[in-house]
Every structure is written in structure tokens, then in C-alpha cells.
């Protein structure tokens, strides 16, 4: 396979991470999700918790230019969550340069928007299906699960919108958008694999 980077953005409970992992296995290429946090933490010396917390702290209307990122990110004077975004973005660019891979979340579609080898996917599903998956696979408490699912999506949208200036989930930002309520996760993997190989 030629050098291809597949980014997967997803609604919580839609199965996007599972799809990303299976797709990477099918294609025989690296898979990055929380691994990006580990790499960024190593790069900065900050704890992994700092990176996880920063993703839920995004208010205002900042648009960062990623085209000027250098291997040593100059982030003097920036708030911690913005420094973390810059470092994480640098890590995403570095792993994309190394070869084909699947990257889940982290606004990777935006970070790699100038990379011609990038294929951007958005995975979504009906709320009831996402709630069911959150309880059965992710172990969320059934009592408050719908609220938790919606809250997680709101955080993801806020983080993405804040750092990219784009609207999370907007079709124009992706090559493919797939509703996993209409098709099995394995079939989604098959469709994505076929798309990647045909492109």
C-alpha cells in the first residue's frame, strides 16, 4: 500500500475506535489513539493526565496555525491546553511522516489537512445505539449513560471547534461519513479498507 494516513473522528459510542483498530490490523499499519498522548507526554515531560484533561478545557475562539510548527514548538506564553495541543499536533505530523497509519481523534484531520496522503473519516450512529454500546462495551452506568454520551460529544465538538476553527462532524471536512447504526463495524472496516486501497 502507498503511504496513506487514515484519520477517524467519531461520536462517542459509535464504534470509531474499534473500527480504527481493526482497520489498522487489516492493513498491517500502526494504530494511534492514546499512544499519541504517551508520545507527547514523553516529548514534554508532562504527565499523561495533563493531556487528557487539556482536551476538556477549550473555551474561546483561538485558531492556531499549524503550518509554522517546528520540531521544537515555541509555545512561550500560551496557556497549558494550547501548548499541549501544539505538541500533540507535532507528534501527529511526525507519525504521519513515518509511514501509513490510522489515527483516531486528536483533531488529526485538521492537523494533517495539507497532507495529500490523508483520508479523513467521520463515524456516527443513532443515540440509542451509542448508549447501548457505551453500557455494553465501555462499562458506563446505565442510569446516566445518555447524559454521559452527549456530554462527551459536546466536549469533543468544543475541543475541535476551538482549536481548528471548523465545525466538528461537518461533512465537508471528511472524505467519508458512515452511520454504524445501519451497518456492522466489520462491514465498515471492509468499506474503509476498500476505499483506502482504491484511492
Closest-CA residue to 105 (of 192, 7, 196): 7
79 vs 130: CA distance, rounded Å: 33
Spans in the chain with pLDDT lower than 50: 57-75
What cell does 98 get? 513515518
pLDDT digits (tens, 9 = 90+) for 181-194: 999 999 999 999 99
What cell does 124 get? 456516527
pLDDT of residue 35: 66
Q: Which residues contact 54 (CB under 8 A, 6 or more apart)?
A: 80, 81, 84, 85
pLDDT of residue 111: 93
Residue given cell 520540531 in the structure block? 71
DSSP labels for 137-194?
A: TT---TTTHHHHHHHHHHHHHHHHHHHHSS-TT-GGG-SEEEETTSS-HHHHHHHHHH
pTM of the model: 0.81
What cell does 48 get? 499523561
What cell does 46 get? 508532562
pLDDT of residue 100: 94
pLDDT of residue 192: 97
pLDDT of residue 70: 39
Amino acid at each position: 500500500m502507498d503511504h496513506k494516513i487514515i484519520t477517524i473522528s467519531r461520536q462517542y459510542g459509535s464504534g470509531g475506535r474499534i473500527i480504527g483498530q481493526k482497520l489498522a490490523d487489516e492493513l498491517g499499519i500502526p494504530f494511534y489513539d492514546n499512544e499519541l498522548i504517551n508520545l507527547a507526554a514523553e516529548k514534554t515531560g508532562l504527565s499523561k493526565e495533563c493531556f487528557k484533561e487539556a482536551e476538556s478545557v477549550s473555551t474561546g475562539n483561538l485558531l492556531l496555525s499549524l503550518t509554522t510548527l517546528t520540531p521544537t514548538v515555541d509555545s512561550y506564553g500560551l496557556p497549558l491546553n494550547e501548548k499541549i495541543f501544539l505538541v500533540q499536533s507535532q507528534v501527529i505530523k511526525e507519525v504521519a511522516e513515518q509511514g501509513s497509519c490510522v489515527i483516531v481523534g486528536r483533531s488529526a484531520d485538521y492537523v494533517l489537512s495539507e497532507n495529500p496522503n490523508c483520508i479523513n473519516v467521520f463515524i456516527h450512529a443513532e443515540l440509542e445505539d451509542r448508549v447501548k454500546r457505551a453500557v455494553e462495551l465501555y462499562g458506563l452506568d446505565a442510569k446516566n449513560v445518555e447524559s454521559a454520551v452527549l456530554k462527551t460529544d459536546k466536549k469533543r465538538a468544543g475541543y475541535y471547534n476551538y482549536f481548528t476553527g471548523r465545525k466538528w462532524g461537518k461533512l465537508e471536512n471528511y472524505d467519508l461519513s458512515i452511520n454504524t447504526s445501519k451497518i456492522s463495524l466489520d462491514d465498515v472496516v471492509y468499506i474503509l479498507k476498500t476505499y483506502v486501497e482504491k484511492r
